[in-house]
Amino acid sequence: MTVEPNLTTRPRCLAIRPAPAPGAAGGDEVVYRKSFPYLERFMDLEVLELQPTSTLNRYLGILQGNPPETTRFLSRKNAQLVAETLRRSKFDIVFLFNEVTLPMLDVVKAAGIPAVMVTQNVHSMVAATDPSPVARMMRPFALAFERRYYADPGAALVLISQADLQGLREAGITRSDIVIAPAGAPPASPLAPEAPILREAVVTGSYGWWRKRRDLTSFAKGATIGVPIYAIDPLAIEILGEEGRLLDEAKGWNWSAGLRFGLVTDAFLGGFKLKSLEYVAKNCVVLSLSDIRPEFEGLPHAAEFVRSLKTKGEVAAVIAEMTARDPAPLIARFIEFKAACLERYAWERCLAPLRDAAISRLPGHPALTA
């Protein structure tokens, strides 16, 4: 039985998310920090954190046909926690943030409450673009998971990239009501027209995810790219070895000093969204070993400043070629590209599809449509 919303008050929303790991600072945490206050502008929001399960439960989840990344919070205890929360309070809508929470959709549907799924990664696409044989072996698990949940018309579906949408299409999910709420860009660092092109590369973000760690390790084994690589994560600096340097903003690091090169060393498509926008906002040419160009299509000079490369040698060649150019016209083009990119990925515009998804589940609710 479907629970009818009370149209005379603001909707009550339960946002379900995975509990953060100690010191968590990845892109998903940024998405939560931005999304929850946005939703609170239209709804009364309560956040429920699922707790990580045991290693044994994770193995059981894989044996049941789930992709490994989605089993960290798959447990009877978490299902009971969600059910008890829904019984305790009357909610009009539930947002499931991150694909690891999607198995809770069964509990939400049983309670008759409209749901919205907000994913971080389409794991069938991650597996399809990951070069390892193990990843390809696990792709059928991801396909089964996505066809079970993402194809369910009973819940709205929100993705965060064009690449994810393409991944679902390749998985055979053709529903027409998918919306994209991409990660937005961080505050921009100014870049003067007379700024130089610096012989420096950067690697931002964290490397707790084993796929990202593996690919950075593979990248580090190649010959030097000829410039130092500055990183924030101590683990990344350790992996980079002699090429690695500490990027310490507390000790005078200046993102406005010139145009640098931001590296995406992931060979698979996943986890790149915030990092690539951070690079643009902080004045870096984006050099990626996975093809993230569709997110920037249509922007002026995007082909020049977002490159899809295959090897570390190609990364070195692009850096050598661009640092040898006359900087003034290149900087002028980058400033134009950056302005258009930041306009497209302004957070207010990027978050609006969350409201659209809520309206699709609660059509005509005055608090959402005012």
Q: What is the mean predicted confidence (pLDDT) over 15-35?
A: 84
308 pLDDT above the threshold of 70: yes
pLDDT at 23: 64
Q: Are strands 155-159 and 179-180 parallel, antiparallel or unpaired?
A: parallel
Residues 101 and 70 in one domain: yes
Residues 307 and 233 in one domain: yes
Residues 45 and 114 in one domain: yes
pLDDT at 1: 58
Q: What are phi and psi of 225, to 5 degrees?
A: -85, 0
pLDDT at 67: 83
pLDDT at 157: 96
Residues 24 and 153 in one domain: yes
pLDDT category of residue 25 using cuts at 50, 70 and 90: low
170 pLDDT above the threshold of 80: yes
Residues 20 and 112 in one domain: yes
pLDDT category of residue 81 using cuts at 50, 70 and 90: very high
pLDDT category of residue 3 using cuts at 50, 70 and 90: low
Residues 16 and 165 in one domain: yes
Closest to 198 in 3D by CA, of 154, 241, 257, 248: 257
Residues 269 and 322 in one domain: yes
Q: What is the mean predicted confidence (pLDDT) over 112-120?
A: 95
pTM for the whole structure: 0.88
Q: What is the mean predicted confidence (pLDDT) over 124-144?
A: 80
Residue 1 domain flag: no
7 pLDDT above the threshold of 70: no
Q: What are phi and psi of 283, to 5 degrees?
A: 70, 55
Among 54-68, 118-132, 160-174, 342-356, which is the least confidently predicted range? 118-132
Residue 4 domain flag: no
Residue 6 domain flag: no
Residue 57 domain flag: yes
pLDDT in tens, 193-221: 999 999 999 999 888 888 889 999 999 99
The CATH number linked to 333 is: 3.40.50
Q: What is the mean predicted confidence (pLDDT) over 299-309?
A: 97
Residue 189 domain flag: no
For residue 94, the one-letter residue type is: V
Angle, helices 327-344 vs 273-281, to 10°: value is 130
24 pLDDT above the threshold of 70: no
Residue 136 domain flag: yes
pLDDT at 2: 67
Top pLDDT among 56 and 21 is at 56
Domains contained in the chain, number:
2
The CATH number linked to 352 is: 3.40.50.2000
The answer to whether 164 and 125 have CB atoms below 8 angstroms apart is yes
Residues 35 and 153 in one domain: yes
pLDDT at 158: 96
* Joined tokens for residue 71: 């089993």
pLDDT category of residue 320 using cuts at 50, 70 and 90: very high
Residues 140 and 207 in one domain: no
342 pLDDT above the threshold of 90: yes
Residues 137 and 250 in one domain: no
Residues 215 and 316 in one domain: yes
Q: In what order do the strands lie in the sheet with 259-264?
A: 244-246, 229-231, 197-203, 259-264, 284-288, 306-308
pLDDT at 363: 92
pLDDT averaged over the chain?
91
Residue 163 domain flag: yes
pLDDT at 285: 98
Residues 65 and 125 in one domain: yes
pLDDT in tens, 237-261: 999 999 999 998 888 899 999 999 9
Q: In what order do the strands lie in the sheet with 12-18?
A: 44-50, 12-18, 93-97, 115-118, 155-159, 179-180
pLDDT category of residue 130 using cuts at 50, 70 and 90: confident
The answer to whether 277 and 349 have CB atoms below 8 angstroms apart is no
pLDDT category of residue 28 using cuts at 50, 70 and 90: confident
136 pLDDT above the threshold of 90: no
How far is CA 268 from each of CA 124, 292, 325, rounded to the nearest angstrom? 11, 10, 31
pLDDT at 11: 95
Q: Other C-beta atoms within 10 Å of 132: how many?
A: 14
pLDDT category of residue 4 using cuts at 50, 70 and 90: low
Q: In percent, how much of the chain has pLDDT > 90?
A: 68
Domain that holds residue 215: 197-344
pLDDT at 142: 86
